[in-house]
Amino acid sequence: MKITAARVIVCSPGRNFVTLLIETDQGVTGIGDATLNGRELSVASYLTDHVIPNLIGRDPRQSEDIWQFLYRGAYWRRGPVTMSAISAVDTALWDIKAKLAGMPLYQLLGGKSRERVLVYGHANGNTLEETVDAVGQYIAMGYKAIRAQSGIPGIAKAYGVARGTLHYEPADAALPTETVWDTPKYLRFVPKLFEKLRETYGDEPELLHDVHHRLTPNEAAQLGKSLEPYRLFWMEDATPAENQQAFRLIRERTTTPLAVGEIFNTIWDCKELIENQLIDYIRTTVLRAGGITHLRRIADFAALYQVRTGSHGATDLSPVTMGAALHFDTWVPNFGIQEYMRHSEETDAVFPHDYRFEAGHLYCGESPGHGVTIDEELAAKYPYKPAQLPIARLEDGTMWNW
Ligand SMILES: O=C(O)C(=O)C[C@H](O)[C@H](O)CO
Ligand SMILES: [Mg+2]
């Protein structure tokens, strides 16, 4: 069996997506997501110019060897561009493998460890009151776990606050929108939000919060401590994690559960975090961390240290990633939770899929493969639009972490 052709499809049904489609001599095709928000064309070029010529003629069933070939063979290892490209190839190859077997992908991983996948949705508002209302709307939609992000008094544009209630798209302009950040205002406000949420909705809903890399380790420890009475499911990306030991300081000072890893590319980005039990949830995804092949290695390693999975699932990850992630989540023994930010109707139409939401959970489908396809004709109606993520500066102009 041979790979006969592969192509990259770039489209923008509401936002940009990069999709890799692999064809074989047996007529079976597979697709993978290669979207890197704000830097999409770099992965498209990496695939078209450097990866696809190496795929033609290879046996698509040898997904492990192809993974190793792309990782070791490039000489230049790791990084978001390389690893998003490898992820797309790997996802497409697992899709093909499962279609050849005539089975849903989770069966090839080891079958079902659970019937359904707990997901968390995104509630947000410009004010504390609006955010409390938005959480109520998610509870009414059946969600059991909800991430709450709010506008902060005195900060013009806060991370995670959308214009509507259901969809959030931070990559909103061809050149980055500039936002201003103020840590003391944020640290004073956030505990009040979660106090109000517990007061309004009681103990049951799982509540999450994304700090989005804005704090130093000591500030993160302060926030974690002040949130302890409100029993968060997790506090995410409390501080940047290039220095994995930074999490030791947070860990030693608060029992609020910690999650990190949506920007990680390989096991090497989280090895110390996991083996030192500095986190509770690892947020690496199929798309960013080397596809099913590598994500499985991270999850198995994490299981040794009782760290559970909590994969990134923002809308800049296409339904292809969501489909593959749900098969992974249905299998992975140390599953924690899956992020689920709903795609727009336009996006869903371009990527027909068989997963479904019901009562706070997602169910992966039963069709062979990962269950997501692409309507290329429709995709062609939405050409690429340059869009970058915002940046953040402190009030004095210092560049900060968005
Ligand atoms: O979903 C999350 O937790 C995010 O932090 C979303 C990110 O800002 C987004 O994926 C960046 O492209
Ligand atoms: Mg995040």
Per-residue pLDDT, 269: 98
Per-residue pLDDT, 165: 61
Backbone angles phi, psi at 214, to 5 degrees: -85, -15
Report the predicted TM-score, pTM, of the whole model to 2 decimal places: 0.97
Digit-coded pLDDT (tens) for 130-157: 999 999 999 999 999 999 999 999 998 8
- Token output for 199: 């007061």
Per-residue pLDDT, 164: 65
Evaluate: CB of 339 within 6 angstroms of ligand 1. Answer: yes
- CB atoms closer than 10 angstroms to residue 385: 13
Hey, what domains does the chain have and what are their CATH numbers? 3-104 (3.30.390.10), 109-367 (3.20.20.120)
Residue nearest ligand 1's atom 6 by CA: 314
Pocket test for ligand 1, best of 172, 212, 339 (most atoms within 8 A of CB): 212
Give the residues of the chain that fall short of pLDDT 70: 164-165
Residues 266 and 103: their CA atoms lie apart, in Å, by 28
- Token output for 285: 């995804």
Q: What is the 17 CA–ligand 1 centroid distance (Å)?
A: 15
Evaluate: CB of 212 within 6 angstroms of ligand 1. Answer: yes
Burial class (CB in 10 A: 0-12, 13-18, 19+), 317: buried
Per-residue pLDDT, 158: 87
Residues 241 and 104: their CA atoms lie apart, in Å, by 35
Residue nearest ligand 1's atom 2 by CA: 314
